[in-house]
Each structure stands twice: as structure tokens, then as C-alpha cells.
Amino acid sequence: MDKRQHIVVVEDEAAQRQLLFDYLTRHGYRVTGFQSGVGLRRMVEREMPALVLLDIGLPDFNGYELAAKIRALPWGRGVILIAVTGWGQEEDRARALEAGCDHHLTKPIAPETVESLLQSFDPAFRRTR
């Protein structure tokens, strides 16, 4: 997986979305941010991202359902899905994994936490700057 492949941040909270977007782009990643699941659904019709940071509590979609729909698509098995949510109980983590997410992060999250997680999935995500 090439580091320049696409990372998508789906987060309805503008400050959190911008923080992740700025951090990831500053460190050489190609990033698109959406405030809702609608934007993600439209984008994936044209391009498959390498990784999606997916807020679970979106205003228009349940993130668990969106994760399951992504996994059901032919290309959806290859994308890395990371649930990002304010819900951090063990049952929340289990539900995210059950929906097809590879990992679960509880808000607020530091961009450095995301960076560390990216590197654990694939060395191609190691930053060069």
C-alpha cells in the first residue's frame, strides 16, 4: 500500500475533522474529509480509499451500518476501517469490530494516536516528514 493512497476522515465535529485532516496532510498523506456519511458514499462510487476514519455517531448515517455496507462492497474487504467515537465501553468496541471495523478509537483522539495506529496496519503509512 503506497503512503500516498487515500485516507478519508468522516467526522461531523468540525474541529476534530480539521485537526486530523491538518495533521495527516502535513505529514504527507492524501486526505479527504467529510462531515457526513453521504459524502463518503458518493466518493466511494468513484474511488476506493485505503483507509477510513469513521465517526460512528453521524447525523445522517449510523457508522456501524455504514461500516457494514462498505465491507459488503467488492472492494470493501481491502479498506482499513477505524471507528472513531465518543462511545468507549467494551460493548461499543465489540459492536465496531462486529460491523467490520479493524479498530476502535475513543474520542477525543490525538493525531499521534492515529499515526501510531496507521503504522501498525502497514509500514507504508510510516511518515517521512
Sequence ranges of the domains in the chain:
6-123
Name the strands in the sheet holding 103-106, side by side, starting at the edge strand that comes first in the sequence. Answer: 30-34, 6-10, 51-55, 80-85, 103-106
Of the pLDDT bands very low, low, confident and very high (cuts 50, 70, 90), residue 1 is very low
pTM as predicted: 0.87
* pLDDT > 70? residue 129: no
Level-2 CATH architecture, domain 6-123 = 3-Layer(aba) Sandwich (3.40)
Residues 83 and 107: their CA atoms lie apart, in Å, by: 10
Q: Say which residue, 95 or 5, is predicted with more confidence.
A: 95
* C-beta atoms surrounding 36 within 10 Å: 15
* pLDDT digits 0-9 by tens, 42-91: 777 677 788 999 999 998 888 999 999 888 888 788 889 999 998 899 99
